[in-house]
Each structure stands twice: as structure tokens, then as C-alpha cells.
Amino acid sequence: MPNTQDQLSASSLQAEPKHADSNAPVGVFDSGIGGLSVLKHLREHLPHEDFLYVADTAFAPYGERSNEELIERSMKITEFFLQQKIKALVIACNTATAAAVAELRTRYPNLIIIGMEPGIKPAAARSASKIVGVLATRSTLQSEKFHRLSQQLSQETQTQFIPQACVGLVNQIERGDLQAPAIFDLLRQYVPPLLDQGVDTLVLGCTHYPFVEQQIREVIREHQANQTKPIHIIDTGDAVARRLADLLEKQGLLNTDALSSKIFQAWTTGDSRTLQMAIGFISSAQEQISAQTLHL
């Protein structure tokens, strides 16, 4: 008897688009609201595209899940998107990318799949001190993907990468109060030790972290006091958007119809209130977008 994963794979492969339509939507997912920071860049770079977003809040945070669980969740969400006839998939989560992107690309070879890179390559190019701090989840920092890339770039650029697992930060951001004292307490715990080691560039290695970029800058100013040394912050959402635009254009799937009304739909597997609030981060006042509940 075939197991659940085999059945899932078979049904997904049947649904996978072999000749996608340029008018088809793009699917984007994350464990929660973090991926909206990436979706903001996607909508800015690709204003004529339709986007579907899934926040897998019921299984957040992904950083506390095993690779097997992350692959299973990624597969289920991808199958849901394929039922919506997507032409491309963006894994707007560093942790899910590290765990599942290779498996997804193997199982869906005809689908454009974009994952998150940790941003350490542009950070190495930007850093004058050649000391870069990487803020990310423990799972991302422990992944083979991160270790391989950081070691390679360290040798090529003579850059020291100092990883900092930000335990608890995703959970606090998901609560929706970005000015909560608990967020500042965590940032004061994680950011100053990196600055004390000579870091002049910080990588936001989780898509949730751009939501608190201003809070990070505040903690930096607080720690530096009267110092004027600039600290660069790297957010890879812009690079992901440019990469997707390039792949869509190369495959003839770029939607250039400026006259059609654009669609943005959002689902969550958990409580819709936080997602509904966070949607305001990437939508205009004229847009009426409701977060729907998804049982997956």
C-alpha cells in the first residue's frame, strides 16, 4: 500500500504545470507573516503579477521543526498552490528553503521554485571590516546549506561570518506587537555582542526580521552611543524578487498586462488576525484583502 508521502507526490506531479500560462499566479509561503516582507518586494518588482500567499501559522515556528516535518509541510502547501494553477513558487522562509528546496525541485521539475538565500554573499561584498553578523533561526544556521555557503565565501572573500541564533524572536514578531518590550529585550541580547566583535554588516537571515529592522537600528544606535560607525543591514527580499522576474521573463511567463486587475489572496492555517494586520505592511489603503483560513 502506498504511504501518504507517495500519494502526495503522485497527486502533485499530476497537477504540476507542464505548460504554464503567463496569467497564472505566483504562490508564496512562509511559516507565518515573515514572508510578507518578501512579498512586498515581489509586488514592487512585478506589479502585473497575481500572488497567492499561505502563512502556515499552525505549524510555526519552522525553526523548531525537523527537516522531515518541513518537507512534509512544504509539499502540502505546494500541492495546494498547484491546485490553484500557479506558474512559480517562492519559499519565503530561510528555514524551509534550507530543509526542503532540493526535495521540492526534484519532485516538481517543471515548476519555477525560488528559495531564500541567507544574504551572506552581498554582505561579504559590502563589509569593510570583513566581519559579518548573521541573524537567523537555529535551524537555518545549523543547515548544511548555510555551512557550505559560509565556508566557501569565507575562503573566497576572507570574511568572518559570526552566526547568531535569535531564539524566540519569530514567536514575538508573530504576536503582532512590534514595539513590545520583549522584542527589544531579545534584540539587546543578540545584536550588541556581534557589534562588540567588530561586525559592520548584519544579515537578516529570516524573513520575519525585516519587520523589526527599525527596532534593530534603534538597538544599534543605543549600543553605539556617540559612535558614528555605519552598520549595514542586508535584506535579501529584493534579490529574490529580481531573480523571479528574470526566470519568468526567460521562460516567457512574465505577465505584462497592465490593464487587468491584480489579485492578491492570502490564507493562514492558524489565527487569521495577525496575518490580517500584517497584510497592511504590503497593501495599499485601497485594497480590501481578507486573510482566509486554510485547513491543510
Residues recognised as catalytic:
93, 206
Residue 209: name the closest of 235, 248, 244 by CA.
235
Tell me how crowded residue 74 is: count the other CB atoms within 10 A of its CB.
Answer: 25
DSSP string, 143-199: SHHHHHHHHHHHHHH--EEEEEE-TTHHHHHHTS-TT-HHHHHHHHHHHHHHHHTT-
Contact 273, 293 (CB under 8 A): no
On whether 95 is known to bind a ligand per the annotation, the reply is yes
On whether 171 is known to bind a ligand per the annotation, the reply is no
On whether 62 is known to bind a ligand per the annotation, the reply is yes
Residue 278: name the closest of 89, 28, 59, 39 by CA.
39
On whether 198 is known to bind a ligand per the annotation, the reply is no
On whether 57 is known to bind a ligand per the annotation, the reply is no
284 class by beta-carbon count within 10 Å (0-12 exposed, 13-18 middle, 19+ buried): exposed
On whether 271 is known to bind a ligand per the annotation, the reply is no
66 grid coordinates: 525537523
**DSSP 8-state code for residue 254:** -
On whether 31 is known to bind a ligand per the annotation, the reply is yes
Known binding-site residue numbers for substrate: 30-31, 62-63, 94-95, 207-208
